[in-house]
Amino acid sequence: MLLTCANPECRVGFDHEQGRFFRLHRTKRDGQNPADPAVQDFWLCGRCAESYTIEYLNGSIALTSRAPHIPRPQTARHFIAAA
C-alpha cells in the first residue's frame, strides 16, 4: 500500500485525488526469488509530479527530473528501489 510520495525528500501523505501513480513492471532475473513482486507501485504528490518522474535506470527504479530541455545530471537522481 502506498503511504507517502515516492520522493525521499518530500514524503507527503498519499492522496488518490492528486499526484501521479506509477506501476512499473520488471522482468525477473536469473536467481531472483520467484516470490518477489514483478510489479511495483509508486505515487508522486502533485508538486513532485510536476518536476519528477519515476523510471528504470541501470536495473534500479529511480526518481529523475522531468525537465526535457535540461540535461539530467547524476546528482538529480534518487534511487528508490532495486529492480
pTM of the predicted protein model: 0.67
Question: Can you give the pLDDT at residue 80?
Answer: 63
Contact (Cβ atoms closer than 8 angstroms) between residue 33 and residue 26: no
pLDDT value at 79 more than 60 = no
Which grid coordinates belong to 18? 492528486
- For 35-46, the DSSP string reads TS-SEEEEEE-H
Helix, strand, coil tally for the chain in percent (to 5): 10, 35, 50
What single DSSP character describes residue 25?
E
Q: Where are the domains of the chain?
A: 20-82
C-alpha distances (whole Å) from 1 to each of 43, 54, 72, 76 are: 10, 17, 30, 26
Model pLDDT, residue 52: 92
What is the per-residue pLDDT for 37? 64
